[in-house]
Amino acid sequence: MATTVSSVAEICAAARRASRQLATIDTRTKDAALNAIAAALIERSEEILQANARDMEVGREAGLTDALLDRLLLDSSRIASIAQAARDVAALPDPVGEVVDGRRLPNGLQMRKVRVPLGVVAVVYEARPNVTIDAAALCLKSGNAIVLRGSSSAFHSNAVLAAIAAQAAEQAGLPEGCVSLVAGGGREELGELATQTDTVDLIVPRGGEGLKEALSAVATVPVIYAASGNCHVYVDVAADVEMARQITLNSKVQRPGVCNAAETLLLHEAIAPRALPLIAQDLIDAGVTLRVDERGRALAGALLGSLEVATEQDWETEYLSLTIAVKVVDDLDEAVEHIARYGSGHSEAIVTGDLAAAQSFQLLVDAACVYVNASTRFTDGGELGMGAEIGNSTQKLHARGPIGLRELCATKYLIEGDGHIRG
């Protein structure tokens, strides 16, 4: 496995050589490699846990937030889940060679549009060591070589995980250089990786707005941004209040430090007098801080003293913690307008029993994932049947939503003739 013992350019060049071989490797060999990675993760769990413990210790000393420490943490259960995600990717259909379109043209030419690997994918990510394996599994299955660049906060965890993945994959028959880790450098190293136009086909950054800004300032390689998530739950006038309570609580509390957790609760003014006190009590009992607008505070009753006052900044904030903003709106149109102004295009949910309202919300809200009567927490490649994901794209070109196997492919037209010439 390549590391910064080699230069960034050398690592990327080795990945390019590996990608040419990967593009021709059969599905059985790729699946065997992913299953070998999964087995090695379980077998070497203690080694992984020791490395992660070092990162956690350094993170606490550096004053990382609870949300970042939660993202960084690995335990036996999480390692098992990471291994299972690799197996799940192995079990999925191979996208390489899939015929997207095909027909015989009027001039007799046979045309097929098929999926092909992108080539070399670089993934730049913060805190989450599980991305090391998720990204490697998805890239290898889709016939791509991968160059990983994690954050310093997960240095030891990423180094062990990448080494395990590279060794297991190469022993299973994949080419040397198919999984590489760039580690140890600063912003200069990131800038160098982002400008390897001769060898890297795509960069996917997975992290905060600072990482996005740093890459966008220097990148000459194409980028798909796995962006932040300022996600909303809107409780409509026709909502089942008990359902709204469960969905709001799950969207906010189940894992608050992730991009698909809800950050703002919107309530229709006609249902707010019944729903807000109940939902607010649920959230307070779960340790959530509520920042509520004046209309909502007027309905809080005995809970008023437990609520903070919402400001304009709260509507714009991705908390990634046990804090949520709450606003009462006139109707569905105001909810949609609020989401359009403050949302990040990630995941939005409506709770309603009105089919027309549900359909309007789905049509009008501009986001990668739009839910009706379901938690925003389902925006995840594993939950949506992709096995895993590299990130969630809020862009509209090439890929939107969870970035899985098909999103890591381009297409190629294959045209066959019988001596055809154009007149």
The DSSP element (H or E) to which 121 belongs, if any, is strand 120-125
CATH topology of domain 231-378: Aldehyde Dehydrogenase; Chain A, domain 2 (3.40.309)
Helix, strand, or coil here: 120?
strand
> Using CA atoms, how far apart are residues 371 and 365, in angstroms rounded to an integer?
10
pLDDT digits (tens, 9 = 90+) for 149-171: 998 999 999 999 999 999 999 99
Predicted TM-score (pTM) above 0.75: yes
The listed CATH number (3.40.605.10, 2.60.120.1270, 3.40.50.2300, 3.40.50.11440) that belongs to domain 8-226+390-416: 3.40.605.10
pLDDT of residue 215: 87
pLDDT along the chain (423 residues), means of 10: 69 97 97 98 98 96 89 95 95 96 96 97 90 96 96 94 98 97 78 95 86 87 86 98 98 93 98 97 97 97 95 95 97 98 96 98 96 96 83 82 92 95 88
Place of tokens 């846990």: 49
Cα torsion 294, 298, 304, 310 to 10°: value is -10
Spatial CA neighbour of 276 closest among 313, 254, 306: 306
Q: Which residues contact 373 (CB under 8 A, 6 or more apart)?
A: 243, 247, 349, 350, 351, 352, 358
Residues 132, 1 contacting (CB under 8 angstroms): no
Cα torsion 138, 70, 366, 359 to 10°: value is 100
Cα–Cα separations (whole angstroms), residue 28 to 33, 89, 172, 325? 9, 13, 10, 49
Domain residue spans of the chain: 8-226+390-416, 231-378
| Bridge partner residues of 202 (DSSP) | 121
pLDDT digits (tens, 9 = 90+) for 82-133: 999 999 999 999 999 999 999 999 999 999 999 999 999 999 988 889 999 9
Q: Which residues contact 164 (CB under 8 A, 6 or more apart)?
A: 37, 40, 41, 44, 48
> Using CA atoms, how far apart are residues 239 and 268, in angstroms rounded to an integer?
9
Strand order in the sheet with 262-268: 308-309, 289-292, 323-329, 262-268, 231-235, 347-351, 369-372
Helix, strand, or coil here: 398?
coil
Q: Phi then psi for 17, rounded to 5 degrees?
A: -65, -40
